[in-house]
A and B are shown apart, each in its own frame.
Chain A
Amino acid sequence: MAERLLLRCRDIPALRRLDVYLQNGGYEATRKALTQYTPEQLIEMVKASNLRGRGGAGFPTGMKWSFLPKQTAKPVYLAVNADESEPGTFKDREIIEDDPHQLLEGIIITAFAIRCHTAYIYIRGEFAHGAQVLEDAVAQARHAGFLGSNILGTGFDLEVWVHRGAGAYICGEETGLIESLEGKRAYPRIKPPFPATHGLFGCPTIVNNVETLACVPHIVARGADWFRGIGPEKSPGPKLFCVSGHVVRPGTYELPMGTPLREIIYTHAGGIPGGRKLKAVIPGGASMPVFTPEEIDVPMDMDSVQKAGSFLGSAGIMVMDDTVCMVWTLLVLERFFHHESCGQCTPCREGTGWLEKVLRRLEYGDGSGTPRDVDLLLNIAGNMMGTTICALSDAAAMPTRAFVTKYRAEFEQHATRGRCPFRPAPEPARAHG
């Protein structure tokens, strides 16, 4: 598969305009879905495609849709997770800004399949431009009859609302997102019950990532078999990989699921600049365990990466060369989680703060560090795993465990010396005041 589908916008200028989109086969998949299939058939189709969520959790999308109650007097909602906040991830942004109608098609087809008539796109507040592009696209689509009442004369009604966030990573957690949509603090909810039964306003709700929904029109257009045939069967499809850090060509790459990590880094992204050597690479966004250079032959699909000890997550590939201090890097990551912890549960609220403090003193030395700090990091992380309402605590704990375990010598050097043994990089500001 060499053609770009999800990133067609790179080959077709101004694809965000409805007239250009229509000229390039736009809304044909929507027409096909709404006129040739029943909602149940569409759910079965997406199930058969083995499409898995591209937001980070990788849950089978069709299965999630099938958790909706078969009979309900309540309205069903679709919440599009456009909160893209996982560090190292920037794929949804491109779809939103440059191919919004692809996303809208995914929304319309999905809404039809799950019998939803109101969809909300929750877009992170920082994407001011993207929100405007989406608003324009929704207006254009509505004007042309692809949204609103009696879409394409099928009798299906759907309204799409664009809702901007206000700068919190935790709003990307599906129940945090729902709380925020309801106008409350984004405190994730205890699960069960899951959004499919008790979601937005207490009604059945599906929350799907932007890239996930962008795959849906292609599945309808070319079939579940086609989709399932790209990459490994249990984790198939075209995938957007975000490559950042020490590479010649950082950016987003559309490649089949299962492309080896080595190929992505060295072939597509051009390898490490300046002749330097690879030291570490995070495969799936800041929350996922880091890989050493020995581990990069892993195929980049959800099951292979999991087998190798990490997660594909949001496919935010962060490449680090040998000038990078691993302690400093972990400090930057943990500072992020400390800043973003909502504060609801004890282990995450206190643990993220503690991790940042320990790492800060390991790196910059304030006299309070001890050699026991390295094991302390592991101990704190261990107490943060599996004990909280949402996964942010695990997201903060996993990188800690992976970094300390795989680069232990470097951490111990810092602990013994009392500060960073390399020329320390500039100190990141404290997470809170």
Chain B
Amino acid sequence: MPTVEIDGRRVEVPDGETIIQAAERLGVEIPHYCWHPGLPIAGNCRMCLVDIEKSPKLQIACNTRVTDGMVVHTTSEKTHAAQRAVLEFLLINHPIDCPVCDQAGECKLQEYYMDYDRQRSRVPLPQKVHKKKAKPIGPLVILDQERCILCSRCVRFVDEVTHTSELAFYQRGDHVDLDVAPGKVLDNKYSGNVVDICPVGALTNRDFRFHARVWYLERTPSVCGACANGCNIEIYHREGRIFRFQPRKNPDVNQYWMCDAGRMSYRDLQGEGRLQFPFLRGGAEFSRATWEGALGQVAGRLADLTRGNGAGGIGIIASAQASNEELFLLRRLASRLEAKLTGIAWSPPDADHDAFLIKADKNPNTRGLAQQGIAQGAGELLTAASRGELRALVLYRADVTHWCDEIAARAALERVPFLVVLDSHQRESVEYADAILPVATYAESDGTFTNHAGRVQRFQAAVAPPAEVRPGWQVLGGLLALVAGETSPVGAEQTFAALAEESAAFRGLSFATLGETGVASLAPS
């Protein structure tokens, strides 16, 4: 384990670690473009040249292994001169696109220019090399060849991570073009990642193009809910509107990447199709209710049914879209109501999946259902309902007509005397409901999901729920209070704490221990 001294501070590192990695441990930034911890080393940008004692020439920090006793200076005049030189070289042909370039505000050329350069240009504008601009190269990605600094991160990504090799360099010298291979389109399932790793605005997201200046956006750490992988993400938002998802590093789940389907899934979370207000049915019509009124009605009817007939009258179907906290409160509710709680985790039969990140299970919390012992028996429950065996049915984030046998489901929904639908989006089941209670998405409340591998991960509220939508834990807590007169934990964190206390699968966990990257939990099922 060699020890290296960087800018006067020592650190011991594992064998084989490079200077740039050692510097990261010390929190020392060595500016770089082509290096990326998730990609093979290229060493071509030359931005990370550093001054090593006893070495006559500067060496690149990304590819120089630390040896014991090595002394490195990242802020010496020699290093600064090299950084300024490389930046000047990069800027010679770089177009002055900042005012129209999406990358502004998260551009490494801008950042390093401000931090390490700030010199005036010595090349007349008309002499810059010109290449193709604004060229769409795939469904999600648009290319500007002039802005490209030829760091080769994107080429290495499609070669070594997705093994699809759509991108390559053509021609030579300062006329090298980054482009798609002849006849190819950048349409692999992870194409959006090249936008994340492009240090400049050469590869940008077509969906996000011109939508917002990034310095106005807030970032909230979360997890993607589009499948059971639970890729860690950041939700970029402003004033209640979500603009994009980007992957967040988690070495144990998704490394640095996420799939395009997950990346684009933010669009389903907002906009039309959301349930906005509590509704109660009066005859054939729905009328908007207050939360007080709606909760009162629902709790009242359910409690009546329980008192009236004992066990077996009430069914609750909870889907694998519900969070662990919501499932915990649903279990309590089921217990107080002596209701049968069953689960459903549906995915399209031909659901896309691969050996990398994409899981066929398109639900974020299937394992969470199993961890709390909720069996998947929605089909049987609906059959019972259609036979008239249920007095009430509560659907929690469960789109049963779509996920189960349509005819049977509709029959069940028609037949059951009291139907409560709690969901974020409009479902067909809403048409049969007696009460509709809108609950928030995972982008609008806190909570946890357990991914396919049993890893419990937090998601955090990025935007406020729209209209009069409320977080699920709040609605369920309200019902519990009215049904059983009990006080539930307030907030997702306290609910999780209660869950951890009672459940072996979550023993010892808390929001604090989950941190930002989650924890592998104990025996799942």
Contact = CB atoms under 8 A, between A and B. Distances in A.
A127 interface: no
B11 interface: no
Given A344-B44, A346-B86, A387-B85, A338 B169 contact: no
Contact of A383 (B60, B85, B129): B85
Interface stretch (A7-15, A108-116, A350-358): A350-358
A187 B44 CA distance: 10
Contact of A432 (B60, B124, B175): B175
Interface in B6-51: 41, 43-47, 49
A345 B44 CA distance: 5
Contacts, number: 94
A190 B387 CA distance: 74
A388 B46 contact: yes
B58 interface: yes
B127 A352 contact: no
Given A354-B123, A376-B122, A387-B85, A433 B45 contact: no
B172 A341 contact: yes
Interface stretch (B89-97, B228-236, B282-290): B89-97
Interface string B44-84: 11110100000001101001000000000000000000100
Contacts of A344: 44, 150
A342 B174 CA distance: 8
A389 interface: yes
A347 B43 contact: no
B485 interface: no
A154 interface: no
A198 B176 CA distance: 27
Contacts of A185: 169
Contacts of B348: none
A349 B173 contact: yes
Interface in A381-433: 383, 386-389, 431-433
Nearest to B82: A387
Nearest to A352: B173
Contacts of A433: 175
A127 to B, nearest CB: 20
Contacts of A341: 172-174
A37 to B, nearest CB: 39
A159 interface: no
A297 to B, nearest CB: 30
A340 interface: yes
Residue from B58, B92, B93 having most chain A Cβ neighbours under 10 A: B92
User: Chain A at the B interface: mostly helix, strand, loop or mixed?
Assistant: loop
B447 to A, nearest CB: 46
Contact of A386 (B57, B86, B89): B57
Interface string B429-455: 000000000000000000000000000
Contacts of B85: 347, 383, 387
A343 B174 contact: yes
A344 B47 CA distance: 13
Interface string B120-133: 00111001010000
B44 A346 contact: yes
A342 B46 contact: no
A351 B89 contact: yes
Contacts of A431: 173
A269 B169 CA distance: 45
Interface string B186-211: 00000000000000000000000000
Contacts of A168: 172
B127 A387 contact: no
Residue from A168, A368, A432 having most chain B Cβ neighbours under 10 A: A432
B175 A389 contact: no
Given A343-B169, A357-B127, A350 B58 contact: no
B150 A349 contact: yes
Nearest to A350: B89
B169 A383 contact: no
B290 to A, nearest CB: 64
Contact of B92 (A190, A354, A386): A354
B46 A387 contact: yes
Q: What is the interface residue range for chain B against chain A?
A: 20 to 34
Nearest to A343: B176
A339 interface: yes
B174 A349 contact: yes
A131 B405 CA distance: 73
A346 B176 contact: no
A149 B134 CA distance: 58
Nearest to B58: A387
Given A346-B90, A350-B93, A338 B173 contact: yes
B172 A346 contact: no
Contacts of B173: 338-343, 349, 352-353, 431-432
Contacts of A383: 82, 85, 88-89
B93 A346 contact: no
A345 B43 CA distance: 8
Nearest to A341: B173
Contact of B89 (A187, A339, A340, A346): A346
B122 A347 contact: no
Nearest to B49: A387
Contacts of B150: 343-344, 346, 349
Contacts of A386: 57-58
A346 B60 CA distance: 13
A190 B127 contact: no
A301 B166 CA distance: 50
Interface string B375-401: 000000000000000000000000000
A85 to B, nearest CB: 14
Nearest to A348: B173
A347 B89 CA distance: 6
Nearest to B63: A190
A350 B82 contact: no
Interface in A364-381: 368, 376
Residue from B58, B60, B82, B85 having most chain A Cβ neighbours under 10 A: B85
A182 to B, nearest CB: 14
B45 A353 contact: no
A340 B172 contact: yes
Contacts of B171: 343, 432
Nearest to B177: A343
A190 B48 CA distance: 14
A243 B122 CA distance: 38
Contacts of A190: 41, 43, 60, 63
A406 B49 CA distance: 30
A386 to B, nearest CB: 4
Contacts of B92: 350, 353-354
A168 B89 CA distance: 23
Contacts of B63: 190
Nearest to A369: B124
A343 B49 contact: no
Contacts of B175: 343, 432-433
B46 A346 contact: yes
Interface of A: 168, 185, 187, 190, 338-347, 349-354, 357, 368, 376, 383, 386-389, 431-433
28 contacts: A340-B173, A343-B150, A343-B172, A343-B175, A344-B150, A345-B46, A346-B46, A346-B47, A347-B85, A347-B86, A347-B89, A349-B176, A350-B92, A350-B93, A350-B174, A353-B129, A357-B127, A368-B127, A383-B82, A383-B85, A386-B57, A386-B58, A389-B43, A432-B129, A432-B171, A432-B172, A432-B173, A433-B175
The 3 closest A-B pairs by CB, nearest first: A383-B85, A350-B89, A343-B176
Given A343-B169, A343-B174, A354-B92, 20 more contacts: A190-B60, A340-B173, A341-B173, A342-B173, A343-B150, A343-B171, A344-B44, A345-B45, A346-B45, A346-B90, A347-B86, A347-B89, A349-B150, A357-B127, A383-B82, A386-B57, A386-B58, A387-B57, A387-B85, A432-B175
